[in-house]
Amino acid sequence: MASDEPTAIAEPHEWRPDRFMVIVAHPDDADFGPAATAAKWIDAGSAGWLVCCTSGDQGGEDFAMDPFALAAIRESEQQAAATIVGYEGVSFLHQPDGALANDLALRELLVREIRTFRPDAVLATDPETLFHGDGGINHTDHREASMAAVDAVYPAARNPMAFPWLARDGLAPHVVRRLYCFWSNQPTARVDVTGTIGRKIDALRAHASQIRQPEKLEARIREWAREEGQAIGREAGEAFRVITIEDDPTDDMAPAGEGDGDQAANA
């Protein structure tokens, strides 16, 4: 989804995590979001994992459909889309669609996922996005999932005293180095996805229960990508608000201005 007022950025964002995790509320959120970036990173050698907090059982217009049947359809669609993008796997947390809450139970599930996969970067929607410019309201589940992801990343995933039974299960604390917030009204970086925007569209087409007019959707997705690409002089881009949580002094891939995180402020 294109940001409302793109900020001119001279160069594309080039840092790539070895391992990354995308955390979203619903099946298809990741494919509307950072799928082209995920595909690009995976093609370059990164390992990616997708976490869906709900199974999207309220995401339909057929009121006669059994919600459990819809959930099964949407999980199957997301699995197919994840294969197209190249994720190593998908976790469904089976939280209530339309009533997702950033509570201890959800954060524990997310911390378990983070400590298991041990990503360098986590991608989630921007928790500060309440409105999409003047054109829409961000879904409450998106806001809850993103805030839960932030709270799981810091401080819970790295804190040995948080959910201590996880450590007893062999899931040691883990430090996530960067947070990539998509659907942000204040992006700080854009990734050149010229070579993988087609994979994003193919992944979206896998969500047949949700996509009524695939050709119209493709045109919209390409237009959003074109707008973001213009800011970096590329044909297609995806925008993120990138938060550097912890630097790696041996990392020579950090672009200028992204290696100055003040860890004292995070104590």
Helix (H, G, I), strand (E, B) or coil at 90: strand
Helix (H, G, I), strand (E, B) or coil at 228: helix
Question: Which pTM was predicted?
Answer: 0.89
Beta bridge partners of 180: 123, 242
pLDDT digits (tens, 9 = 90+) for 207-257: 999 998 999 999 999 999 999 999 999 999 999 999 999 986 555 444 433
Predicted confidence at residue 4, as pLDDT, reads 56
Predicted confidence at residue 189, as pLDDT, reads 96
What is the token pair recorded at 13? 């964002």
Check whether 263 has a pLDDT greater than 80: no
Cβ burial 101-121 (10 Å sphere, 16+ → b, else e): bbeeebbbbbbbbbbbbbbbb
Check whether 26 has a pLDDT greater than 60: yes
May I ask the CATH architecture of the domain 19-248?
A: 3-Layer(aba) Sandwich (3.40)
Tell me the average pLDDT of the chain. 90
Query: Please, which pLDDT band fits residue 40 given cuts at 50, 70 and 90?
Result: very high
Predicted confidence at residue 5, as pLDDT, reads 57
> Helix crossing, 67-85 with 35-43: angle to 10°?
40
Check whether 167 has a pLDDT greater than 70: yes
pLDDT digits (tens, 9 = 90+) for 66-105: 999 999 999 999 999 999 999 999 999 999 999 999 999 9
What is the token pair recorded at 115? 């400590």
Predicted confidence at residue 266, as pLDDT, reads 38
Predicted confidence at residue 260, as pLDDT, reads 37
Hunting for tokens 């599930």 — which residue is that? 109
Q: What is the mean pLDDT of residues 41-45?
A: 99
Name which of 217, 200, 240, 235 is nearest 86 in CA terms: 200
Check whether 140 has a pLDDT greater than 70: yes
What is the token pair recorded at 7? 């900020």
Percentage above 90 pLDDT, the chain: 80
What is the token pair recorded at 136? 């829409």
Hunting for tokens 């979001």 — which residue is that? 33
Helix (H, G, I), strand (E, B) or coil at 23: strand
Predicted confidence at residue 99, as pLDDT, reads 97
Q: What is the mean pLDDT of residues 31-58?
A: 98
Predicted confidence at residue 64, as pLDDT, reads 78
Q: Where are the domains of the chain?
A: 19-248
Of 8-17, 111-120, 148-157, least confident by mean pLDDT is 8-17
CA distance 16 to 240: 13
Please report, as a single letter, which amino acid is at residue 19. R
Q: Taking a C-beta distance cutoff of 8 angstroms, is the pair 242, 260 a contact?
A: no
Check whether 59 has a pLDDT greater than 70: yes
Q: Report H helices in 131-178.
A: 140-153, 164-168
CA distance 193 to 181: 16
CA distance 196 to 221: 12
Predicted confidence at residue 250, as pLDDT, reads 53
Please report, as a single letter, which amino acid is at residue 72. A
Predicted confidence at residue 63, as pLDDT, reads 74
